[in-house]
Amino acid sequence: MWLFFLLSVSLPALRAEPFFSPTWGFRIDLPESYVYSDGDGRNRFSFTSGEGAAVDLVVYSGGIYGSVQALVEDVQKRLGNQGEVSVFTYRGRQAAVLELEFPQGDHLSGNRGQRQNYSGWGFCTELEKKDGESPPLLAALAYGPADKETLKLLAVSALDSIAPAPSDELAPGPMTEFAFPREVSRRVSLANTNASALFDRIDAEAAQSLADREFAVLHHYAESPQWKEAWIRFYRMIYRDAWDRLADAAFALERTWHLGAPGGFSPGKAAGTAAADTSGQDREIAARALAWVQSFAYERDLSGSDFVNPVSAAVEGRGDCDSRAILWAIVLGHANIPAAIMVSREYGHAMGLAGLDGPGARFEAEGRKWLVAETTAPVAPGLIASDKADPAKWIGITF
């Protein structure tokens, strides 16, 4: 039975906030279990976990080093690092990725006195510069004992979460961009419509690689008391990576639905009925976007990450509930409609949330009452199955 709630209920929400430097403007969204352990609160920050993993961040004012290459050479020398270095450009900035293999516990923020082999990854890049000044440089090292292979995965995830500037917060992270550089765009049809959009040829592969990696990180915390926070970060990382990749697709869909162009997806009877309850354009777009993802083929991959990345979902018209919910939230976000998702381990399900007026079931998360959206059954926004309606079993995730 589908319920059409008139009263709102509260949805528990957790949000392990990313670390932000107000001085330099960069952000990092570390995996769970990392805690701040050392630094001066301005230029040096160190984070450690109970497993022996560490992340060190050091910012050097413009002029201390003439270039990222000069910074990297000094880091290599000071660490005695034996790993390889690759220089590349990240979103118009000089950058470098370092493979870390060094024989002792020395690092940029001091010496913890440990004497063993360490391995991991490093990332150096330019930060935003002020007029007339050389750009400050960020050195970020993520590492742990070399005999703990799992920590290397956490290191890559940690560095990929770095956004050197606010404009990078909704763009693929530096480690993903390094491994999957975007170069060649092509026009691709969007599933179940006559609309098409530009994607880089590497977008789907890169997005799936990130999803698989972050699923492995999530699995690392499956038995941790912080499993909810880890789950939230998993979806936050996927959302960030996919936002820019899906920008043209979101605009193409909005144009099609708004203008009523041939090939626009027509909502089913239930969705159309709900849309008629309000004359608001935002709710109409939300209903059409919901009907679009509801039309996808239901697909799960229990042998892998069990998540179809949002790019493949949009192009191939397939995916589970959380793939569709993330995609729906991204499409709404590009239309300037507030959107989020909610997930439930008990129900094994995910749904969309939208900041829209009008009737329907609502859940409260982050101080806002959101309209629910079921993405796997052909029902209108605001409807939720009666056997999945306990708010205590849902977690709200905002982006």
- What gap in Å lies between CA 160 and CA 29, rounded to an integer? 9
Q: 88: which 2 tokens?
A: 């590349």
Contact residues for 260 (Cβ-Cβ < 8 A; gap 6+): none
46 has a pLDDT exceeding 50: yes
Q: Is the pLDDT of residue 108 over 60?
A: no
**Could you tell me if 231 and 117 lie in one domain?**
no
Distance separating alpha carbons of residues 218 and 228, to the nearest angstrom? 10
For residue 273, pLDDT beyond 90: no
CA atoms within 13 A of residue 318's CA, in its CB half-sphere = 8
For 220, half-sphere exposure in the C-beta direction (CA atoms, 13 angstrom radius) is 22
Task: Answer whether residue 139 is part of any domain.
Answer: yes
- Residue position matching structure tokens 């899906």: 246
Q: CA nearest 140: which of 156, 124, 128, 154?
A: 124
Q: pLDDT confidence of 278, banded at 50, 70, 90?
A: very low
Percentage, residues of the chain above pLDDT 90: 76
Residue range 289-304: mean pLDDT, rounded: 85
Query: Residues 91-112: what's their mean pLDDT?
Result: 78
pTM for the predicted model, two decimal places: 0.90
C-alpha span between 69 and 89 (Å, rounded): 12
Residue 292 to residue 351: CA distance in whole angstroms: 14
| 204-262 confidence digits (pLDDT tens) | 999 999 999 999 999 999 999 999 999 999 999 999 999 999 999 999 999 998 765 44
Q: How confident is the model at residue 181 (pLDDT cuts 50, 70, 90)?
A: very high
166 domain residue, yes or no: no
- Choosing from 127, 160, 193, the residue where a domain stops is 160
Q: Distance between CA 354 and CA 276 in Å, rounded?
A: 17
Q: From residue 137, how far is each of 24, 45, 69, 269, 314 by CA, in Å?
A: 10, 14, 11, 56, 37
Q: Which pLDDT score is estimated for 17? A: 82
134 plus 228 within the same structural domain: no
pLDDT category, 112, cuts 50, 70, 90? low
More confident site: 272 or 201: 201
Can you tell me the distance from the alpha carbon of 77 to that of 351, in angstroms, rounded to the nearest whole number? Answer: 50
Domain residue limits at 346: 2-13+185-397
Where a domain ends, among 125, 160, 195?
A: 160
Q: What are phi and psi of 196, to 5 degrees?
A: -140, 165
